[in-house]
């Protein structure tokens, strides 16, 4: 059986190194390792209607395409597309919404978190896992590289497969999530999990000045030889063996250690940042990439949604 890899990113703002080391890094690794697999990398704009609107949404979607290209996704090798350009995602989500019950979906962590904050939960947020199952299953995906926060969503997609196949006959295969082994360990500048909502991120394409400012503001615990939060971020880009002599040399000297982290982060980010800047100068090429990707995704999706609708007895 052919491997099919799919993942997506929401166009909700600048990606940070937590997104990169928690998930996106794997997109590139898998692209390069699985030469013969079909690969799809999507901009999940339908999943972001709560956070972005109009021209800002359009711009943010193109920004994700730029991010994908800058980290090394190759449009010759992978299909880069925008979810909303492929109407079959929404159709399939509607079909799936008739398979999954409300009590089942109430166990979804996005719903539970929103509910716990006392928010009036959008129906779209409630159905987020259903749309995501449609994203994944529409292409016959076998492997989904994601960050740890999306593990449950892939589990839900597997439940959708079982439900659908039970009701309509074997059609879908169960997708597997591919997690980075230490993905849960991406800490922010305050030591908590790096997340946009905590305001503790280091943007993936940040300038040296931004890196400097952010690293200098890392919270340090006084009294110990090793500033834990500095070290934990440092560990993302250097091995513990590489770091050991440095942290020994500058024992207890937080400023010197922060300066070393600034240099290492900048050395890591600089080529990505420069590549992105270069790509952004030629938006015509970027738009071509999107156009080609959307077309390719639609071709696959259209064939599959017709088969699915036929199984359901819907008019295709």
In angstroms, rounded to a whole number, what is the distance separating the alpha carbons of residues 77 and 106?
38
Between 207 and 236, how does the x/- string for binding to ligand TRP read (CB under 6 A)?
------------------------------
Q: Which is nearer to ligand TRP, 196 or 270 (CB)?
A: 196
Q: Which two structure tokens, joined as six digits, stand for 176?
A: 């597997």
- 65 lines the binding site for ligand TRP (CB under 6 A): no
Chosen residue from 5, 9, 28, 290 binding ligand TRP by CB under 6 A: 9
- 64 lines the binding site for ligand TRP (CB under 6 A): no
Between 145 and 184, how does the x/- string for binding to ligand TRP read (CB under 6 A)?
-x---x--x-------------------------------
- 69 lines the binding site for ligand TRP (CB under 6 A): no
Given a contact cutoff of 8 angstroms between Cβ atoms, the answer to whether 8 and 44 are in contact is: yes
Choices 130-138, 234-242, 292-300, 302-310; region in contact with ligand TRP by CB under 6 A? 130-138
Given a contact cutoff of 8 angstroms between Cβ atoms, the answer to whether 180 and 26 are in contact is: yes
In angstroms, rounded to a whole number, what is the distance separating the alpha carbons of residues 295 and 259?
47
Task: Quote the distance between the C-alpha of residue 264 and its chain's center.
Answer: 24
Chosen residue from 4, 5, 7, 67 binding ligand TRP by CB under 6 A: 7
SS3 17: helix
- 136 lines the binding site for ligand TRP (CB under 6 A): yes
In angstroms, rounded to a whole number, what is the distance separating the alpha carbons of residues 119 and 292?
40
Report, in this order, helix, strand and coil percent for the chain, each rounded to 5: 60, 10, 30
Please report, as ranges, the residues that interact with ligand TRP according to CB under 6 A: 6-10, 44, 47, 132, 135-136, 144, 146, 150, 153
């Amino acid at each position: 059986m052919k491997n099919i890899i799919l993942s997506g990113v929401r166009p909700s703002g600048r990606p940070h190194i937590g997104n990169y080391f928690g998930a996106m890094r794997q997109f590139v690794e898998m692209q390069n390792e699985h030469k013969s697999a079909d690969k799809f990398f999507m901009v999940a704009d339908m999943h972001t209607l709560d956070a972005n609107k109009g021209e800002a949404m359009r711009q943010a979607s193109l920004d994700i395409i730029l991010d994908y290209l800058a980290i090394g996704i190759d449009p010759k090798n992978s299909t880069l597309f925008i979810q909303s350009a492929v109407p079959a995602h929404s159709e399939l989500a509607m079909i799936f919404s008739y398979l999954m019950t409300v009590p089942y979906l109430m166990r979804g962590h996005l719903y539970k978190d929103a509910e716990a904050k006392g928010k009036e939960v959008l129906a779209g947020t409630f159905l987020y896992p259903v749309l995501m199952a449609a994203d994944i299953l529409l292409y016959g995906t076998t492997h989904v590289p994601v960050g740890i926060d999306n593990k449950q969503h892939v589990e839900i997609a597997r439940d959708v497969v079982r439900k659908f196949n039970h009701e309509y006959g074997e059609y879908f295969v169960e997708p597997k999530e591919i997690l980075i082994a230490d993905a849960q360990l991406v800490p922010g500048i305050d030591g908590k999990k790096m997340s946009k909502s905590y305001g503790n991120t280091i943007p993936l394409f940040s300038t040296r000045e931004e890196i400097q400012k952010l690293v200098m503001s890392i919270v340090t615990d006084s009294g110990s030889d090793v500033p834990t939060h500095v070290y934990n971020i440092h560990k993302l880009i250097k091995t513990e063996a590489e770091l050991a002599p440095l942290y020994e040399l500058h024992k207890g000297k937080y400023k010197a250690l922060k300066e070393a982290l600034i240099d290492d982060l900048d050395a890591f980010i600089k080529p990505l940042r420069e590549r992105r800047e270069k790509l952004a100068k030629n938006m015509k090429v970027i738009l071509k990439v999107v156009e080609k990707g959307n077309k390719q995704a639609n071709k696959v999706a259209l064939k599959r949604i017709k088969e699915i609708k036929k199984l359901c007895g819907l008019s295709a």
